Amino acid sequence: MPAPTIPADAAAILARTGHRDLIRYLVDHPDSYYGDIKDATGAAVSSLTRDLRQLEAIGVVHTDVDRPLGARRGRAPRYRVDVDRIDTLLTDLRASLIG
Residue 3's Cβ-side half-sphere holds a number of Cα atoms within 13 Å equal to 9
Q: Which of 99, 98, 82 is nearest to 10 (CA)?
A: 82
Residue type for position 43? A
Question: Considering the chain, what percentage of its residues have pLDDT values greater than 70?
Answer: 83
Mean pLDDT of 49-61: 91
Q: Is the pLDDT of residue 4 over 80?
A: no
- Helix (H, G, I), strand (E, B), or coil: what is residue 77? coil
Residue 75: what pLDDT?
66
